Amino acid sequence: MTVEFENYPEIKSYAKSVTEPKWFTDIRVKALESQPKLELPNFEKIRYHRWPIQLKEKLKKVSSNAELLDDLPIEDAKHLVVQLGQDTLQKSGLTTFEEQGVVICDWQEALEKHSGLVQKYFMQKAIKFDEDLLTAQHVANLTSGLFIYVPKNTVVKEPLTTYFVQDSTQKNDYVHHVILVVDSNSEFSYLENLMTVGSEKTTANIIVEVIAQADSHIKFASVDRLGANTTTYLNRRGYLERNSKIDWSMGMMNDGNIVGDFDSDLVGDGAHSEVKVVAISTGKQVQGIDTRVTNIGRHTIGHILQHGVILSRSTLTFNGIGHIIKGAKGADAQQESRVLMLSTKAKGDANPILLIDDNDVTAGHAASVGRVNQEQLYYLMSRGLPKKVAERLVIRGFLGPVLAAIPSKVIEEQLKVTIERKLVDGQKDE
């Protein structure tokens, strides 16, 4: 069916300005037309519906000033992609990957040079464009992103590091999409950094699709540091085929209100997902993190480990959802969600959900919300440490099991530095 977009001059104008292929413009129009019948997604105990989380700004091509990056802590990684807003400012050290047949392109380049490959995977497996209102808005307004394809039988030994910097010096929505496809019997490591420059009140809608084909292994690690005036919907989806594995390691160090929607579908027999999340909420910030693993294939393994800290008047909610579908014999679903509160005015929740539709499976959960151990605190203070320093040491110990389980040492060290910065800033609000 051919979509007519003459009635949508905004989409038509943008598509022409970036020489977008017609099949993608068609999807934009379909996503736009589907919105009146779609609703916002619901997440247990996460109340975000009155936030300014829906996309309101007009679709348009916007350029950013490269000098905005001058004061940001961007690592000089060996293999690096840096984007500011809709612009790609740096691509370095990618020759080694290209020699192995790996495709790494920003969004516009991918649509131009690898249109067929993008069309094959975009919103086809991990998520659908009309799944809910936020997804449809994302597709209709998408302006930046990255496409990565690793061919069969390819082991990439060194990680790719990316920095995606939202430009909030301008009043513009940040709509960003990443597709990472690792083909059969291949391995790839990906380190993602989300950051904000500027202080305008903005909305971010970010979707990541990770597709692990048979016998592949993906290490996905991220440090998310979006700004205080950015309201964010962050959706990361994994689609795992037979005997594939994804190691997710995510540091939620954002300063603004955010909904994190992290899902892994274990479709093939023997698929395995390890999800590790560290989160810190400060000030009046609200973070809602909904982490789900769905065991569909036989003998699949889905483990969730989430630890979070809340300070001042902030709120942090962890949902951990393990769903074993009927027919997933031999599946294993385990989860642990723990929240540490440093303020009597903070609000925390760790909400375990197990949905078991078959027998001959293994499942379990652990959840807790509590305050700092006063005996530990007293012991450290009795050795001469100031209270705030002692609190930070206790918090490090609390987050230690998650950090130690992160397979990427680079991300582990980045998180330690970011956690310290966030805790120091948070304690100033106490």
Cα separation, 130 vs 137, in Å, equals 9
Domain membership of residue 319 (yes or no) is no
**Enclosing domain of residue 241:** 9-268
Kindly report the CA angle at 13 between 9 and 19, in degrees rounded to 5? 140
Domain membership of residue 391 (yes or no) is no
Domain membership of residue 394 (yes or no) is no
pLDDT of residue 1: 41
pLDDT of residue 136: 98
Q: pTM of the entire structure? A: 0.95
Crossing angle of the two packed helices 409-428 and 387-405, in degrees rounded to 10:
150
**Nearest one of 350, 365, 370 to 44, comparing CA atoms:** 350
Q: Give the count of beta carbons closer than 10 Å to the beta carbon of residue 10.
A: 15
The series of mean pLDDT values per 10 residues for the chain, 430 residues long, is: 63 92 95 96 96 95 95 91 97 96 97 97 96 98 98 97 97 97 98 96 98 98 95 98 97 96 98 96 95 98 96 95 97 96 91 95 94 82 87 86 78 82 72
pLDDT of residue 3: 47
Overall number of domains in the chain: 1
Is residue 319 a contact partner of residue 287, using CB atoms and an 8 Å limit? no
Domain membership of residue 313 (yes or no) is no
Radius of gyration in angstroms for the set of CA atoms belonging to the chain, rounded to a whole number:
21
Domain membership of residue 288 (yes or no) is no
Cα separation, 370 vs 131, in Å, equals 36
Domain membership of residue 404 (yes or no) is no
Domain membership of residue 359 (yes or no) is no
**Nearest one of 235, 233, 234, 178 to 211, comparing CA atoms:** 178
Burial class (CB in 10 A: 0-12, 13-18, 19+), 241: buried
pLDDT of residue 396: 85
pLDDT of residue 423: 79
Domain membership of residue 4 (yes or no) is no
pLDDT of residue 307: 95
- 3-class state of residue 120 by DSSP: helix
